[in-house]
Structure 1
């Protein structure tokens, strides 16, 4: 499997700087990184910096956000990286400043290749000065800024050289209180030892209530479920609606009784959508959320405690 790291954070926070530092370190380790960059405009300003690093496989997603209308393009670009570069060890994905972490993760997880990718986590780069001045942001921008921080698996408080020691302490304490599970590292120029990132995202963490989340200890994670038999459509929808609110997204191909080919199934914000497929796809489903390890159709979560799970 190929390790995947998502770099999140607002425009100007230091994502591209962290990306370039990470690429250099991976190359020094003898690894082959590839990059997917999502730029909101039509010109690949940040991508040009990556191209200067040499023969790094690079795909770009321009004029759209990875997390909404660009999700299908994201899938196509990732598929291209996988097909064109068989020796990739690591994929680094830099999202736009407008990307919501949950939706960015959703765009990355396609049932077509989810079994080939090992998403290690979301690294959110937070501009330390912007955190102190967050009340001056518009409500919508501030909400997105806070969501990027809340869902991080590792928080980078960048540009601390612009603050006093007291302000740095205030930022660190504030970030820690808002996201109790993510380790925080203070940086200048977003310089981090990649071995530290690996160690943090490979080490199980516990919430303050001592409950382990998602097996890997990540607050936001995914689960790939595969079908062993067809399901009743209405019964499946009832199971979906019974899931906890911490299930944010589902997408994949669901084999339905009476249909010759699996349906494309998508779920978001409590809404379900079915779309007939004309090609027989691998029957599997990706679930994205918090605390989702024990979710299986046919288990007690779905209201059928006496059944064997249809997923494995």
Structure 2
């Protein structure tokens, strides 16, 4: 199973510097990283940050989280089929919403091969203090990238006074109390903090849920092998789920159908589509606290 890290943050925040640092860390550990870089322009100048010999896929002219979602899936499938690597690092464009970026990466086609470790958001400390100068849309995205991070870097901290740095730290922690927050210069992070991240629900974590275990933004893979449901039963179950379930996609066995049906859920809307190829009956769920929700057909 391959560990996967998503790097989030605006252009100029230090995201690509972080990518280069992480690549160097993993290579020192004897691990082989692979990289997917996503940019909205036609040329990706940041690709020079990736060393020779590191498998690299570039996505240009499309955001990983919207029109590029299918391309992201294809790139990951290609890497899994063609390359030998131990860990996958995905640098998202600054326009990517964290939930949608996670959704684009975690496909039921290969979810059992990936271990999503989480989202590292690089926040430019000085830009944070000047966020009132941003457009409302840009400021909102900035806040979302911070709110959904699993590891949050208050980068370029050397450019702030002690008072300013304390203010940034307090405000970022108030927005996302779940994330580990580091004050960084040149996006330098100890590898042990990166490897300690965990945003994929594992069976042992599910068992501990009653003891208060809670994962912030996380993903969970459900296998429905040997089960069948009616569409009505599935939709009734969906209505019982909390609003913190943001996305679901996968293939669900439906009574009377020879092949599992494609099921998608987003923003409260359900979509069913017939599938003409027999797909594995697996469903990916993305949201907050996914280790604590009840799954249809499972106790």
Coarse TM-score class (shorter-chain normalised):
over 0.9
Q: Which runs of 5+ in 2 are unaligned?
A: 202-207
What is the RMSD of the two structures over their aligned residues, measured on CA atoms?
A: 2.1
Distance in 2 separating the partners of 1:35 and 1:218: 26
- Look up the match of 1:161: 158
Deviation at 1:195, TM superposition (A): 2.2
- Picking from 224, 230, 233, the partner of 1:232 is 230
Deviation at 1:194, TM superposition (A): 1.5
Equivalent residues in 2 for 1:204-223, closer than 5 Å:
217-223=214-220
Contact conserved, 1:225 with 1:311, CA < 8 A, in 2? no
Aligned length: 291
Distance in 2 separating the partners of 1:272 and 1:9: 30
* CA distances 1:223-253 after superposition (whole Å, capped 9, x unpaired): 1111131210112112112211010000001
Alignment of 1:70 with 2:68, yes or no, is yes
Contact conserved, 2:62 with 2:68, CA < 8 A, in 1? yes
Deviation at 1:3, TM superposition (A): 0.6
- Picking from 107, 116, 121, the partner of 2:113 is 116
Equivalent residues in 2 for 1:1-312, closer than 5 Å:
1-50=1-50, 53-85=51-83, 87-199=84-196, 201=198, 217-227=214-224, 228-298=226-296, 310-311=297-298
Q: Which runs of 5+ in 1 are unaligned?
A: 205-210, 299-309
Distance in 2 separating the partners of 1:172 and 1:277: 49
Deviation at 1:81, TM superposition (A): 0.7
> SS of 1:293's equivalent?
helix
Deviation at 1:136, TM superposition (A): 1.3
Contact conserved, 2:209 with 2:292, CA < 8 A, in 1? no
Contact conserved, 1:4 with 1:117, CA < 8 A, in 2? yes
Contact conserved, 1:214 with 1:291, CA < 8 A, in 2? no
Contact conserved, 2:252 with 2:261, CA < 8 A, in 1? yes
**What TM-score does the superposition give when structure 1 sets the normalisation length?**
0.89
Distance in 1 separating the partners of 2:262 and 2:171: 42
